[in-house]
Chain A
């Protein structure tokens, strides 16, 4: 998928809010209507609609009106590139920092052996 810098900014902005993350978590289990999304949240329907607009703008969520019900679903593809980049770098650094710890431990042991 193609990801422009501005698009990624919108994704990160959308994810920076706990209410929006909880809406995404709900949608990651399957599509839901706006009122279903609003139900577990302690906020007004207009506030939920506003959060939904941010999610939709970021490309994380798409909505579709069927009759009188607006159904929302997650667009997982938009997360993949950010996820991939962070995962790769984080994993690489986790391994390096483990090796650094091993190295420092070996050094300390060697120093301890010196008379």
Chain B
């Protein structure tokens, strides 16, 4: 029987891109733009992609990894302010098993040299899905990381 449990977590990332907010936003707003970067990378093949980019719209990205694992991303858009903000909720499945339900917020800020992108994600991580390879960090490093993510969340 599956052991039921949930872990909650939040993290933030910030990036600067040397192009105006309109251009960064467009990479989220069109299926062609999104396909250029929102995928698994090496060893990953996209098998299905749909995007209805508007408040109330949905997005689905299904992909297969080299080892046969199928990942499925299903999102609903809750807030879309062109060139400024996107808020969406999504669930992730790995080979049909639901592994997480998350809320993602992406903010686009005009900066001197282009755009500052702020990403914050909060999620419920379900039933102890285990990703081999992410447990090797030493206690010190993980304390630093948690501290940093908390500091960023608090900032």
Chain A residues in the interface with B (C-beta under 8 A): 2-5, 8-9, 12, 15-16, 21, 24-25, 28, 74, 76, 79-91, 93-97, 99-104, 107-108
| B33 partner residues in chain A, CB cutoff 8 A | 103
| A84 and B135 contacting across the interface, CB-CB below 8 Å | yes
Known: A4-B5, A90-B13. Contact between A82 and B23, CB under 8 A?
Answer: no
- Known A-B contacts A104-B17, A104-B23; the reply to A84 vs B134 at CB < 8 A is yes
Contact across chains for B9 and A82 when beta carbons are under 8 A apart: yes
A93 and chain B: residue at smallest CB distance: B13
Binds A, one of B52-60, B79-87, B116-124: B116-124
Q: Are B37 and A102 in contact (CB under 8 A)?
A: yes
Task: Write the nearest CB–CB distance from A80 to chain B, whole angstroms.
Answer: 6
B19 contacts A by Cβ under 8 Å? yes
Contact string against A for B residues 7-18, beta-carbon threshold 8 Å, 1 for contact and 0 otherwise: 111010101011
Contact indicator B5/A3 (Cβ below 8 Å): yes
Q: Which residues of B contact A (CB under 8 A)?
A: 3, 5-9, 11, 13, 15, 17-19, 23-24, 27, 33, 36-39, 41, 100, 102, 117, 119, 121, 123, 125, 128, 130-131, 134-135, 137-140, 142-143, 145-147, 149-150, 154
Which residues of B lie under 8 Å from residue A85 when comparing CB positions?
7, 9, 100, 123, 125
Task: Kindly identify which residue among A3, A84, A93, A100 contacts B27, using a CB–CB cutoff of 8 Å.
Answer: A100
A interface, over-half SS: helix
Known contacts A5-B8, A104-B24: A21-B15 contact under CB 8 Å: no
Q: Tell me whether A83 and B119 are in contact (CB under 8 A).
A: no
